[in-house]
Amino acid sequence: MSTIAQKLAEAGKHVVSLLAERDAPACTNVSRAEAQAALSAQVDSWHERAAERISNDLQRLAAGQSIDMMAPADTFGYQMSADVLLKEHAEDVRAYLTFGIGKAAMLKRFAPLIEQMPEGLDASARTAHLADIEAQIVQAEVLEESLIREAEAEGIEIDPRPGQRAEAAILIGFGEL
């Protein structure tokens, strides 16, 4: 294997390792505080959804209409099995469950799960770390592209690495026209 081919193989491995690092849980996991905040927002959303539906049902009941209290919105009164209900109306089930047991109880149930999560980086540290990795990826891809051009100039035919992005060629220019 020629020296250029060896350098190119090493550059390709380096790019792949950087891509794996960028996508690894250590870089993508959110902090427990962010997870807790996202969970609280989701529980609030479920509670509001159920409260709105129940309020509408009570208004219809007050107007003398017959209702199927807490039935999913689009079942049109048809009975369905629990597995179909959970599969097709999971958002409604979560909403009514949250409304029924209360937001605080729902968050209390999830608290041990949040505590078991690996601690991720906070948003600013995660953003900075990912930006650093992205910069390293660009540098490695530019090096890889320059090695490909060097090999082609010497008459060595190179197949691009699977997933190789064209942006590296743009960054180093299109060569002589």
Over range 5-28, report the average pLDDT: 88
Do 162 and 84 lie in a common domain? Answer: no
Domain with 99 in it? 32-119
Please give the Cα distance from 175 to 164 (Å, whole number). 19
Paired tokens of 39: 């969970």
Do 38 and 115 lie in a common domain? Answer: yes
Q: Tell me, what amino acid is at 147?
A: L
Residue 174 main-chain phi, psi, to 5 deg: -100, 10
How many domains does the chain contain in total?
Answer: 2
Residue 16: pLDDT band (50, 70, 90) is very high
Do 99 and 175 lie in a common domain? Answer: no
Give the count of beta carbons closer than 10 Å to the beta carbon of residue 95.
Answer: 24
Predicted TM-score of the model (pTM): 0.61
Domain boundary among 101, 119, 137: 119
Do 90 and 73 lie in a common domain? Answer: yes
Q: In this model, does residue 119 exceed pLDDT 80?
A: yes
pLDDT at 49: 92
Do 48 and 66 lie in a common domain? Answer: yes
Residue 176: pLDDT band (50, 70, 90) is very low
CA dihedral 43, 47, 50, 54 (to 10 degrees): 170
Cβ atoms of 138 and 15 closer than 8 Å: no
